[in-house]
Amino acid sequence: MRHFLRKCEEFTLCGSVGDADNLFTHSYPDNYAIYHIIIKGNIRMARPFETEYISLDADGKNFVDVKDYLYSKRFYTSSSPYHIFGFNPHDPEQDWNGRLVKESFDGDKNTWLICFSGNPIINGITVKPLDYAKLDKKNYQVNLNNAIVGIFTKL
């Protein structure tokens, strides 16, 4: 299993890549993830000693709001090889809205775009995985090319 961090201007991206049957943990204050994005595999996330869990699945539920887990210890288990990201605000008290991009959209000055996989074309520019940009108040034309792209708006 390999973990990584990328500190950006207003948020940090964390990630993990690993094999099937891995178990790993994260907790506050080291992990401020409020969204998880999985681009490969299947993972279950739960609090210790609780029977309820969140499923993350690259082929289905691949973008998940985990704000309810912000101040909790978290256990992650994988049932297949995986690649997962976390979106972490620098200030855990700052709320953000996030969603996957499905089509062209209008941006604003409080929104960031992040490419998690693939090579989408956005306003004529080919974007690479882990490229990110602060958006302007304008329309963004998107050709996803099967990429996974998220937008996150600071509230």
pLDDT at 30 over 80: no
Q: Determine the topology of domain 97-154 in CATH.
A: Jelly Rolls (2.60.120)
Percentage of the chain surpassing pLDDT 70? Answer: 100
**Mean pLDDT over residues 16-38, rounded?**
90
Strand, helix or coil for residue 17: strand
- Across the chain, the runs of DSSP E, i.e. the strands, are 2-7, 11-18, 23-26, 35-40, 42-46, 54-57, 63-65, 74-78, 82-89, 96-100, 105-106, 111-117, 121-122, 125-126, 132-134, 139-140, 142-143, 148-154
Q: How far is it, in rounded angstroms, from Cα 64 to Cα 77? A: 16
**Mean pLDDT over residues 68-86, rounded?**
95
pLDDT at 28 over 80: no
pLDDT at 73 over 80: yes
**Mean pLDDT over residues 43-54, rounded?**
94
What are the residue ranges spanned by the domains of the chain? Answer: 2-93, 97-154
What dotted CATH number matches 2-93?
2.60.120.10
Q: How far is it, in rounded angstroms, from Cα 91 to Cα 129? A: 25
> According to the model, what pLDDT value does residue 111 have?
98
pTM: 0.94
Q: How far is it, in rounded angstroms, from Cα 34 to Cα 70? A: 6
